[in-house]
């Protein structure tokens, strides 16, 4: 847990500063980060919530290779159009390879090997895998990295109606996913709006430091009560698409805010299946091109976005669902035998009750330990100090409210493990 007192000068937004100060990540080189123990624990929890919500709609998890042969992209016609964001290289046999910036071609190729008939549809596959995009301006830490973790999903349906049902299912799963992380997602229409054309929504989290400027209906500020079918159509657009002359929302209900894109759902029909010549046997005995969609979530970007939306001047305030540990246990006086005994007994009991505890037993001053605990933002802090210990008491602080309550060891265990 290599915490820093001051944020390094290169970090200009609060989530980047806090991620470095709390020792979640460390920069390898521009736009490329290594994840340290605390950061990895949160990244893993974010990924787990995403996987659970994907599995809940019947998607199956896979793990595609990060390296792909250029020939797949030559087949779809994107090899030349993708441009300089793609990291390309050759192996010792002079074969052209690339580090995947996305995986539509690869997943379509795999699909073709195993799916031969409409009876095997629909298929919905997702993975959580590292991507490389040589972004022109990597910045804001993990928010716009060159190497970043993405959940990417790909669906294959027999017809357009099926593809729309899948789109709606993924849309709903994304709302749930972001809400479980304590976020309020704003679904923003990103397609052309043409009938029969593509359909696409971006999921944005409101934050002053977001890269997009959004115009949206104020109803979306409390979208939790709104049905998800309505959320696909309530007005929300990015700056480029906003036109005051055609905006359907009355002025007093129109909101303007910056946003961070944390997810993107995209229906694009037969674009890849046709260009790559991937068909299955249809119900009429003639081949059909499956209708596809792809769906992305910025897994590593989410860690930054969650911090951007949940912090105070002292540090991060993790929502419980993604906190690296549930509880931070601080012993103020390592040399005090009774403090040590209380702290160690509690540590053992909490662990046995399956509550994740970070035990700060470093020989640091209490002030340093408390500042570090606030900085790393665990939901609960347990303080063990000599004065209270003499009365058989310990203190419990809730990070989000700052409220401190006195407890005995027993009442504390009941608090965390009410059964
Ligand atoms: P952006 O407009 O931010 O570049 P994109 O449209 O290129 O995003 P997609 O290809 O839809 O992004 O990727 C899916 C998700 O991956 C995005 O919604 C975003 O959350 C995340 N993402 C994209 N690029 C990056 C990046 N450079 N660093 C971190 N996360 C990213
Ligand atoms: Mg991009």
d(CA 17, CA 399): 19
Say how many CA atoms lie within 13 Å of 331 toward its Cβ. 22
Check whether residue 264 and residue 375 sit in a common domain.
Answer: no
pLDDT given for residue 23 in this prediction: 97
- Average pLDDT of the residues in 171-189: 96
Peptide bond into 147 cis (omega under 30): no
Alpha helices in 100-239 (DSSP H): 104-114, 160-180, 228-231
Strand pairing category for 199-206 and 287-288? unpaired
Please determine, for residue 155, whether its predicted confidence score (pLDDT) is greater than 90.
Answer: yes
> In angstroms, how far apart are the furthest CA atoms of the chain?
82
**Residues having CB within 6 Å of any atom of ligand 1:** 102, 133, 135, 144-145, 148, 150, 261-264, 296, 298, 300-301
| Shared-domain flag, residues 334 and 277 | no
* pLDDT number for residue 361: 86
Distance 135 CA to ligand 2 centre (A): 8
Q: Note whether 152 and 221 are same-domain residues.
A: yes
- Decide which of 312, 337, 352 is a domain's last residue: 312
Residue 131 lies in a domain: yes
Residue to mutate (ligand 1; options 185, 260, 293, 296; most atoms within 8 A of CB): 296
The neighbour count for residue 34, using CB atoms within 10 Å, is: 11
| Shared-domain flag, residues 147 and 291 | yes
Distance CA 329, CA 347 (A): 8
Is residue 192 scored above 80 in pLDDT? no
Report yes or no on 129 lying in a domain.
yes
Tell me: pLDDT of 375 over 70.
yes
Q: What is the DSSP letter of 139?
A: B
Predicted TM-score of the model (pTM): 0.96
- Total count of domains within the chain: 2
Compute, in degrees rounded to 10, the torsion defined by CA atoms 75, 78, 84, 87.
-40
Instruction: Tell me if 6 is assigned to some domain.
Output: no
Q: Are residues 188 and 214 in the same domain?
A: yes
46 and 114 together in one domain: yes
Cα angle vertex 226, ends 221, 227, to 5°? 145
pLDDT, residue 198, reads 83
pLDDT band for position 419 (cuts 50, 70, 90): low
138: left (phi over 0), alpha (psi -120 to 50) or beta: beta
CA 336–ligand 2 middle distance (angstroms): 55
Grade residue 16 by pLDDT with cuts at 50, 70 and 90.
very high
Q: Over the stretch 240-255, which tens digit does the pLDDT of each residue have?
A: 999 999 999 999 999 9
Are both 132 and 22 inside the same structural domain?
yes
Q: Average pLDDT for residues 275-299, to the nearest whole number?
A: 96
| Cα dihedral across residues 68, 70, 75, 81: positive or negative | positive
**Structural domain that includes position 405:** 327-416
pLDDT (tens digit per residue) in 295-352: 999 999 999 999 999 999 999 999 999 999 999 999 999 899 999 999 999 999 999 9
Residues 291 and 206 occupy one common structural domain:
yes
* 170 alpha carbon – ligand 2 mean position (Å): 21
Q: Looking at residue 223, what is its pLDDT?
A: 80
CATH number at residue 74: 3.30.930.10
Question: Buried (b) or exposed (e) across 354-367, using 16+ Cβ within 10 A?
Answer: eeebbbbeeeeeee
The β-bridge partners of 53 are: none
The answer to whether residue 193 scores a pLDDT higher than 80 is no
> Are both 335 and 293 inside the same structural domain?
no
Is 322 a domain residue?
A: no
Kindly report the protein residue whose alpha carbon is nearest to atom 28 of ligand 1. Answer: 144
Mean pLDDT (whole number) for 357-362: 94
Query: Is residue 338 in a domain?
Result: yes
Instruction: Kindly calculate the radius of gyration of the chain based on its CA atoms and give it in whole angstroms.
Output: 25
CA atoms lying within 13 Å on the CB side of residue 180: 17
Q: For 68, what's the count of Cα atoms within 13 Å in the CB-facing half-sphere?
A: 27
Give 118-121's long-range contacts (Cβ < 8 A, gap of 24+): 118/158, 118/280, 118/281, 118/282, 118/283, 118/288, 120/280, 121/156, 121/157, 121/158, 121/162, 121/280, 121/290
* 247 inside domain: yes
At residue 233 the predicted structure's pLDDT band, cuts being 50, 70 and 90, is confident
Give residue 195's pLDDT. Answer: 60
CA of residue 392 to ligand 2 center, whole Å: 56
Q: Are residues 27 and 154 in the same domain?
A: yes
pLDDT tops 90 at residue 57: yes
Please indicate, yes or no, if residue 9 is contained in any of the structural domains: no
Report the 10 Å Cβ neighbour count for 302. 29
Mean pLDDT of 178-207: 87
Contact 254, 236 (CB under 8 A): no
Which residue, by CA, sits nearest to atom 31 of ligand 1? Answer: 298
Distance 360 CA to ligand 1 centre (A): 37
Residues 338 and 302 in one domain: no
Report pLDDT for 232. 86
């Amino acid at each position: 847990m290599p915490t820093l007192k001051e944020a390094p000068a290169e970090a200009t937004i609060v989530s980047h500063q806090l991620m470095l100060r709390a020792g979640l990540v460390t920069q390898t080189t521009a736009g490329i980060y290594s994840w340290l123990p605390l950061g990895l624990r949160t990244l893993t929890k974010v990924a787990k919530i995403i996987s659970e919500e994907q599995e809940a709609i019947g998607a199956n998890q896979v793990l595609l290779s990060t390296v792909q042969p250029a020939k797949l992209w030559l087949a779809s016609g994107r090899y030349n159009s993708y441009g300089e964001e793609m990291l390309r290289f050759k192996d010792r046999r002079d074969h052209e390879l690339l580090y995947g910036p996305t995986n539509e071609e690869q997943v379509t190729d795999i699909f073709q090997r195993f799916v031969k008939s409409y009876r095997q549809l629909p298929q919905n596959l997702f993975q959580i895998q590292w991507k490389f995009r040589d972004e022109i301006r990597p910045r804001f830490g993990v928010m716009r990295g060159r190497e970043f973790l993405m959940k990417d999903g790909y669906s294959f349906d027999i017809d357009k109606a099926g593809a729309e049902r899948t789109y709606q299912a993924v849309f709903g799963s994304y709302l749930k996913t972001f809400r479980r992380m304590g976020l309020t997602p704003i679904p923003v229409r990103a397609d052309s709006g043409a009938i029969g054309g593509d359909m696409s929504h971006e999921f944005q989290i409101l934050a002053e430091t977001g890269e997009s400027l959004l115009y949206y209906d104020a109803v979306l500020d409390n979208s939790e009560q709104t049905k998800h079918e309505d959320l696909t159509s309530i007005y929300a657009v990015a700056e480029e698409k906003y036109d005051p002359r055609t905006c359907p929302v009355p002025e007093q209900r129109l909101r303007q805010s910056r946003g961070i894109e944390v997810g993107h759902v995209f229906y694009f029909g037969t674009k890849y299946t046709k260009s790559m010549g991937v068909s299955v046997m249809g119900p009429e005995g003639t081949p059909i091109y499956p209708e596809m969609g792809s769906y992305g979530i910025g897994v590593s970007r989410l860690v930054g976005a969650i911090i951007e939306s949940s912090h105070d001047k002292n540090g991060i305030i993790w929502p419980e669902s993604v906190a690296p540990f549930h509880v931070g246990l601080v012993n103020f006086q390592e040399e005090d035998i009774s403090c040590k005994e209380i702290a160690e007994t509690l540590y053992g009991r909490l662990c046995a009750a399956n509550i994740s505890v970070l035990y700060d037993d470093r020989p640091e001053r209490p002030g340093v330990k408390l500042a570090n605990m606030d900085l790393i933002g665990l939901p609960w802090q347990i303080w063990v100090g000599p004065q209270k210990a003499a009365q058989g008491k310990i203190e419990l602080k809730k990070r989000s409210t700052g409220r401190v309550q006195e407890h005995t060891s027993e009442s504390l265990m009941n608090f965390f493990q009410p059964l």
